[in-house]
Each structure stands twice: as C-alpha cells, then as structure tokens.
Chain A
Amino acid sequence: MSSLVFPIKDMVRRRFHTALTIVGLTICVATTTFLVQFGNTVGFEIFLLAQGKLTVGFSYIFTIFIILVSFLTFLACLLITSFLVSMSMSQRVQDIGIMKATGCLTNIVFGYFAAELLIMILLSCVLGTVFGVLTFYASISVLNTFGFSIVDTSLNMWAIFVIFMAFLIAPSLIGGRIVAMWIKVKSTDALSPSFFLVMPSTGKDFISSRLGTELKMAIRNLIRRKSVTFYSTLCLTAVLMLTTFALAGGTIANQTTQSYVRRAIGENIIAVGHPNMTTRYSELLSQFFNPQQLQPFNYTDPSLLVSETNISKISSISGVLKMDARFLFEATVYEVPGWVLADPGPPPIYAPVGKHRSSQALVIGINPETALNEWLVNGRLLNETDSYTAVIGDSLAARIFDSPQAESMRIHKGNFTIVGVCLDTLNKGYIVYVPIKITSELVPQSGCNLLFLKIDPLNRTEIISEIQSETGLSVLELNGILNEHIVFLDKTWSLIMFLPFFSLATAALCLVAYMMLLIAGQKRDFGIMRALGAKPKTVIKIALIEILIVLAVSASIGILGGLFIALRFLILDPVFSLIAFLSIAGWLASALIFLGLASLYPALKIIREPILKAIYYP
C-alpha cells in the first residue's frame, strides 16, 4: 500500500477520533494565533498611546491581562496538543502489533503512522492559522463597533510563523516519539489487551473493599491508565487555571478599574460653572472612552470665573454637602531631570534621570483640604502645607518622566516637586494637580472657574434647579459621565474575558478524548456488566465518578492557581465584592458542569451500543 493511502484510510476509519484530534489541534492553533495577533494589535498598542484611548495606568492593566492570558493559552494549548496527539497515537498500538506480526517491516510501519501523524498536525496547523486570523479580523470589527478606531490591522507574520512552527514541531516530536516507542514493542505485547493496564502484582490492592463497586472500578480504571490520567489532569489544570484567571482576573480587574474611575470622578458630584466651562470639562472626561480632537480653549477668560457671590449663594443651599473650588488651565509641562541613587555606596553614587521632555497638560488648582476625589495614588496626595508641589496623571508620568518622584517639573516659571502619580481619566491622564493658592502666580488670573459639589442624592433635582435659578450657572452631573466610563470598561473587559473560552472549548475536547480512551478501555467490562444485568445508569455512574475525580483534582489546583496569578500579578488594591465572588463561582461552576457533561458523551455513546458488540468487538 502506498505510504499515503494507508494513513488516509486509517484516518477515515477512525473518523471520530481523527476529527476530535484535528478539531482540538485546530482550536489550539487558532486560539494562540488569534490571541497573539489581538494582543499585538489591541493589547500592546491601542490601549497605549497609539489609538489614544484610556490612560497609561489602565492600559497597563489590560496589557498585563492580555500578556498573561496569551502566555497561559500558549502553554495550555501546547499541553493539550501534545496530549491529543499522544492519545491518538496510543490508540494505534494494536494495529502496529498486527502489522508487525504479519511481517511488515518496522520502518514501513513507522512511515505509515508518522505520515498519518504529520497529515493531522499539518492540516490542523493550516486550519488553525486561517481560523485564528479570521477570528482576529472579526474581533477587530466587533471592537470598532464598540467605538474603537483600530486602523492598523496588519498581521504580525513573524508571530504567525513562530506559532505555526511551534505547533507543528512540538506535537510531531511528541507523537513521533510515541510511534517510535510503540514500534519497539513486541507484537505479542502490543496485541495483548492488558498491555496498557497496570494491575497490582500481588493478590491485594490498596482500595478498600468497603467502597462501592462503582467507586472501586472507577478508581482502578484511573490508576491503570495512570499516564493518560496524569496528562489529562495536567491539561485540564492548565486550562482551568487559564479560565479562572480570565474569569476571576477579568471580573476583579473590571471591578477594580471601575472603582479607580469612581474614585477619580467621584459619585453624586456635580460640576458648576460657566456653560462653556462645564461643556469643556465634559469633553475632557469623555476623552477616556471617546477621544476626539479638542478645539483650543481659553481657560483664563475672566467670564469663566465663578464669582464669590455665586459661591456664597451655592454654599447656603441646603443639600450641598461639600464644595471643592478649582481653577483649570492648560499649560506646557517641562520635565526637569533629577537624580536617583544608583549605588548606596559608600560613597553613594547618584545617576541623572530625565531628558528635558515636555507635553501639553491640563493644570488643575485644587484646595487639598476640600478635594472631593480619592484618586489611586502612587506616592501621596497634596496637603494643605504644600505650595510648589504637584500630583501628576499617569499618562503624563509615562510620557515625559522616567522616575517622576525623583524628578521635578516646570510650568511657566514655577518649579514643582512631584509627590505622587494618580490614576485619573480626565484628559486621558495628561493632568497636573497643584495647590490652587499658587495658580495666580502661574497665570494672570485668580479664583476658581469650576466648582465641584457633593450633593444629597435624595434631593438632587431640587438642588440642581435651585443652583441654576440662583446663579444662572450651568450644572454638569458627573454621574452620567461616570456611568459611560463604567459601561465602556464593562464592554471592554467582557470582550477580553471571552477570549479564554476558546481554550475552555479545547479543554472540553481534551476531556472528551480522554474519556473516550478511558471508556474504550472499559468497553468490554461495561458490556459484561450489562450482560450480567447492570443497567445503563451503572455505566454512567462509573464514568461520572471517573470524570469527577479528574475534574476535582484539576479544578482544585487550576482554580487556586488562577486566583493566585490574578490577585498576585494583575492588579493593585483589588476590589472583590460578594457579587463578584458569586459571579465568578457561578461561571466556574458552569464551566465545570459543561466539562463534566461534555465528557459523559463517550459513556452515553457506549450504552447505546449492543451488548454483544461491546463484549466481542471492543
């Protein structure tokens, strides 16, 4: 028979197993290709500065998430691929025995099965790459409908090539090794039905006779295929770790980034000022999720100032709980290099840090005592004794500073010490907070051009009406913009958290393949049991116990590992509410139930087979 005809006929003969292997491998290659492309275009670029969305601090969280998910997916997919290939080849050991017994030369037998292996892997790699690229383009178009504007969709051909080769070489080597190993096995051993089975050599085994028959059979089945059980548990552990990381990490990161936004914008806060000023402030906040080129704006226009009369009128309105007066203007911020301790010595050695860079930024004069926001700050916030001291936004810090707190900055003629870097969505993080008392020394204007008020949420409408009627000023409700931020973060996280479900689908295939092998090994036993009067539910019960044991081990390690990675490496000050916990637990339970049910399929298939076929043609 030609060296290609046999492999093709054999694959057709085992079409279900072949399809399972090819689908599993294809999903693995597609998932990895997609994630790396997506991460490359979206994760590492768009969330940074190129596409002009978010702030650097938020981008960092997304980037870390995508990098970790990509890495875990690559690892899980390689494990699954190797597992599927090794199982696929293990099922051919009896054929190898028969071929050798009938006098077929070893190198010809190896050639047949190696060709079969290569065809499956090559086909999967090609299909996986195509599907991965198509999924990438589909996801980009979905993202664009969410308001992103991703223009650069060029493929990273180098990454595609590396993934293709990794998934071609690793499974080929593993599968080839297995074929080579089986080739060396004696025909008589290969043909023995007990070749794979590890049974105790002495009369007694360690499983208590008090256990139920089904439990005993399930445990012994798992033990006698201990190598396959180990690898499938390993694969499932990796995938469940990935799924947990994606679900728990994504949910926690979503909640935490939402809390950062809430802290930065504040809840139940209104901004009061000249209509042009409130509109401008709204535009500055919206830059986070809807970036646009803003028109030049004269913040120092005297007509924008909120008069002392209006301030006193507002402060006398009941329901105004707190007042925070600010003065906003735009300026060029210059980096002033500093020194960092390079070597504590002795003698201590200092190294210069900084490059005299500059950037446009929004400067906000605030009164540290009355500030309503509770930013997430690296360093410290301003206090009442500060004068030429500043807290800068995360994007500005990343753009023009190497080590912000070791450097200082200049605005007009004033030099400022940087005491902290805060996470703020205003003006995409290109902001500087300084004490309001020194703003008059920087620009020819004093006072405040925007008032922030914490109001009683129960009398919101009445308070706003009263402010408008008493002062004639415009009121901007920040809750609306805050909600838009939250919705945007929700959508983005939901999309990214969806990615690892590709891997979950592969894990289901992996478990089904494992169960097929396990059940195939027990087919005759199940047939005998049914011949003796056991009902189909007994067979299902045994299969279910086996699945539960494998899933319990994988889930306990995978879920704990995923949670550890999410909490340890993903995010600072994680927010973990009861609802989030319940939602994660619910999703994980659903994933486990899905995996369990999917893997019951081989058992359901076997109980539909005629008893005699199961006994005599296992």
Chain B
Amino acid sequence: METKADMVVVASSLCKEYRVSEHVVNALKDVNFEVAEGEFVCIYGPSGAGKTTLLNIIGGLDKPTSGKIIVLGHDLLSYDEEFLATFRSTYIGFVFQSYNLISTLTALENVAFPAEIAGFSGRKARQRAEKLLKRVGLSHRVNHFPSQLSGGEQQRVAFARALVNKPLLVLVDEPTGNLDLETGLEVVRVLEKLKSKKYTVIVSTHDERIVQLADRTMRLQNGSITSK
C-alpha cells in the first residue's frame, strides 16, 4: 500500500489478538484505512467491536499483533517507549473514554501537565491551560480536583488537556458514552469547534449527533471495518 504524503494516519492490515487463558480474541482483523489532514473521522460500531483498541494503536499506546501503522509519517512499530512518549506529547491529543484525569492534580494542573512535559515553562503551561479551560467554559473550576467535578466537566477538562499542545491529531474515545443527553451536548459543541478549526480528529462513538458531524464514518464490527 502506498503512503500518501498528506495522510495523517495510514493503517495497513492491522490485526490485534488478545490471549485470554487458552482462547484467542481477535480485537482487530485486517483493518485498512487512511485519514487525511483536517479530516473529522467517526468510527462507530457496537461495544467490543475494537474501536478503543484501534484508537490506542493509533495513539501509540498499544501495538498491533501484525500490520503496519504510520502516524504523521512515523512508523510507530519501529519506535521504543521513550520515543513514543515524546511522540504522544508532541503530536497527539487523546481524550479517553473515562476522562482519565490525574486525581492528584487540579483541573488547571491536569491541562497544564502535557505542556510541561512538552517543555513549556510552568508559567507558560498554566497560561495556556487557563485559556483552554476558559474556552471550554470552566474558568470557574480551575482549582478543583477531578473528584470535585461532574462527568461533563471532567470530559471538558480532558478535551482542554488534549488540545493544550496544539496536537496534529486528536483521538477521542466515546466522549459522550458516560454522559447524559444534555451534558453530552456540551461535548458535541466542543467537537464542533474542533471541526471548525480544521483539527484532524478521529472519534469513536455511538452518538448520532457526533456521527452527523463527521466528514467520513467507518463502521467497525467484530474487529473488521464493514463500511467506510
């Protein structure tokens, strides 16, 4: 498969197997797709279809059993953990399904954390974080710990954190899965903003409101892409 220069993600023959005791579970089976720069791609499908696994592989958090994954021109399988850490902090913004905020840091510190890792000074990182929290409507909650925030607020903090380093690729895993309809709408609005600002976004979701935002959708079922 040829790699196009403007492609942000190129996945070729991706397979992922999990071994549970003696059983082998095929989470991904021969997955092939590409995502272009500025594209808003939506992956949907039933629970257990392999959506999270696919996002984890694209984000360099997991490795496929076989196949090839090239993100922003980097063949992720050829890099060690140390490089992948730098790669993630520099290029990837990840919004996890269960928010995954650091429990001992406040909302502001959570958002500033990736910027500090990327080499920004503490002050600069906090300034960026404050700006982003204001943009997601949480300027009044900056000094609150995750346990003191609602689900919707935590999700918005997670979005702010994902964007603090101005990533070239934003991965969003089931952003409204744990939220009620009304709170989910706040998240949808954040995603709309991302789309309007031409971020490259891959989002896995069941939410029709998000699917409608997508430039392109991919249906994943039993580890295989059934429609693009």
- Which A residues have a C-beta under 8 Å from some C-beta of B? 194, 197, 199-201, 203-205, 209-210, 212-213, 216-217, 220-221, 224, 522, 524-525, 528-536, 538, 610-612, 615
In the complex, chain A residues whose CB is within 8 Å of the CB of B102: 217, 525, 528-529
Q: Does B117 contact A (CB under 8 A)?
A: yes
Inter-chain CA distance A369–B106, complex, in Å, is 80
A200-B145, A212-B122, A213-B116 known; A531-B61 Cβ under 8 A: yes
Q: Does B100 contact A (CB under 8 A)?
A: yes
In the complex, chain B residues whose CB is within 8 Å of the CB of A612: 56, 61-62
A selection of 27 A-B contacts at a CB cut-off of 8 Å is A201-B148, A203-B141, A203-B148, A204-B143, A205-B145, A209-B109, A213-B109, A213-B112, A213-B113, A216-B105, A217-B105, A524-B100, A525-B102, A529-B102, A531-B59, A531-B88, A532-B94, A532-B113, A532-B161, A533-B85, A533-B86, A533-B87, A533-B90, A533-B92, A533-B117, A612-B61, A615-B96
Chain B min CB distance to A591 (Å): 30
Are the C-beta atoms of A199 and B147 separated by less than 8 Å? yes
In the complex, chain A residues whose CB is within 8 Å of the CB of B118: 533
Chain B min CB distance to A289 (Å): 60
In the complex, chain A residues whose CB is within 8 Å of the CB of B114: 532-533
Nearest residue (CB) in B for A197 is: B103
Number of contact residues on B: which range applies?
35 or more
Are the C-beta atoms of A221 and B104 separated by less than 8 Å? yes
Inter-chain CA distance A614–B6, complex, in Å, is 34
In the complex, chain B residues whose CB is within 8 Å of the CB of A200: 145
* Chain B CB within 10 Å, residue with most, of A209, A224, A524: A209
Chain B min CB distance to A151 (Å): 61
A532-B89, A532-B114 known; A224-B104 Cβ under 8 A: yes
Are the C-beta atoms of A530 and B85 separated by less than 8 Å? yes
Q: Does B82 contact A (CB under 8 A)?
A: yes
Chain A min CB distance to B58 (Å): 13
Are the C-beta atoms of A203 and B86 separated by less than 8 Å? no
Are the C-beta atoms of A533 and B148 separated by less than 8 Å? no
Flag B40-75 by CB within 8 Å of A: 1 or 0 each. Answer: 000000000000000010010110000000000000
Partner of A529, one of B61, B62, B113, B143: B113
In the complex, chain A residues whose CB is within 8 Å of the CB of B113: 213, 529, 532, 534
Are the C-beta atoms of B61 and A199 separated by less than 8 Å? no
Are the C-beta atoms of A525 and B147 separated by less than 8 Å? no
Are the C-beta atoms of A532 and B105 separated by less than 8 Å? no
Inter-chain CA distance A213–B104, complex, in Å, is 10
Chain A min CB distance to B114 (Å): 5
Inter-chain CA distance A141–B144, complex, in Å, is 64
* Chain B CB within 10 Å, residue with most, of A194, A204, A531: A531
In the complex, chain A residues whose CB is within 8 Å of the CB of B145: 199-200, 205
Q: Does B101 contact A (CB under 8 A)?
A: yes
In the complex, chain B residues whose CB is within 8 Å of the CB of A209: 108-109, 126
In the complex, chain B residues whose CB is within 8 Å of the CB of A203: 141, 143-144, 148
Inter-chain CA distance A217–B82, complex, in Å, is 22
Flag B142-157 by CB within 8 Å of A: 1 or 0 each. Answer: 0111011000000000
Inter-chain CA distance A448–B205, complex, in Å, is 109
Are the C-beta atoms of B147 and A194 separated by less than 8 Å? yes
In the complex, chain A residues whose CB is within 8 Å of the CB of B101: 528
In the complex, chain B residues whose CB is within 8 Å of the CB of A522: 104
Partner of B94, one of A197, A210, A531, A538: A531
* Contact residues, B150-186 vs A (CB, 8 A): 161
* Chain B CB within 10 Å, residue with most, of A205, A524, A528: A528
Are the C-beta atoms of B109 and A531 separated by less than 8 Å? no
Partner of B148, one of A199, A224, A610: A199
In the complex, chain B residues whose CB is within 8 Å of the CB of A533: 85-90, 92, 114, 117-118
Inter-chain CA distance A612–B56, complex, in Å, is 8
Inter-chain CA distance A221–B105, complex, in Å, is 10
Inter-chain CA distance A209–B112, complex, in Å, is 12
Are the C-beta atoms of B104 and A525 separated by less than 8 Å? yes
Inter-chain CA distance A333–B56, complex, in Å, is 92
Chain A min CB distance to B62 (Å): 6
Inter-chain CA distance A212–B109, complex, in Å, is 10
Chain A min CB distance to B47 (Å): 15
Nearest residue (CB) in B for A212 is: B122
* Chain A CB within 10 Å, residue with most, of B94, B102, B113: B102
Are the C-beta atoms of A532 and B88 separated by less than 8 Å? yes
Partner of A615, one of B89, B100, B117, B161: B100
Partner of B103, one of A216, A525, A536: A525
Nearest residue (CB) in A for B87 is: A533
Nearest residue (CB) in B for A611 is: B61
Inter-chain CA distance A535–B96, complex, in Å, is 19
Shortest 5 CB-CB contacts between residues of A and residues of B: A533-B89, A220-B104, A533-B88, A528-B100, A203-B143
* Contact residues, B105-148 vs A (CB, 8 A): 105-106, 108-109, 112-114, 116-118, 122, 126, 141, 143-145, 147-148
Inter-chain CA distance A236–B58, complex, in Å, is 46
Are the C-beta atoms of A531 and B100 separated by less than 8 Å? yes
